[in-house]
């Protein structure tokens, strides 16, 4: 992925100046991201039997995971 993570993908706020340890802990538990890390928009997340896909309406593909 070539996106630069400027926003938290768990809560959508800028990474700088905030503690996102809880968001990261959530994400570590194979949770799909909720917000685009590049622009902070809400992602369109599809949970599939085999994993999930996340899409940003502005940036496109934001992540894919397979279980």
- Which chain residues interact with Zn ion by CB under 5 A? 8, 10-11, 20, 23, 36, 38-39, 41, 56, 58-59
The distance of closest approach from Cβ of residue 64 to Zn ion in the complex, given in angstroms and rounded to an integer, is: 15
d(CA 55, CA 35): 9
Q: Which residues pair with 50 in a beta bridge?
A: none
The distance of closest approach from Cβ of residue 51 to Zn ion in the complex, given in angstroms and rounded to an integer, is: 20
Between residues 38 and 54, which has the closer beta carbon with respect to Zn ion?
A: 38
H-helix or E-strand spanning residue 64? strand 60-66
H-helix or E-strand spanning residue 54? strand 51-56
The distance of closest approach from Cβ of residue 45 to Zn ion in the complex, given in angstroms and rounded to an integer, is: 13
């Amino acid at each position: 992925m070539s996106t630069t993570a400027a926003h938290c993908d768990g809560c959508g706020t800028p990474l700088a100046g905030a503690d996102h340890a809880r968001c990261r802990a959530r994400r570590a538990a194979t949770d799909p991201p909720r917000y685009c890390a590049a622009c902070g928009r809400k992602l369109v997340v599809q949970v599939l039997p085999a994993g999930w896909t996340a899409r940003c309406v502005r940036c496109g593909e934001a992540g894919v995971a397979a279980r």
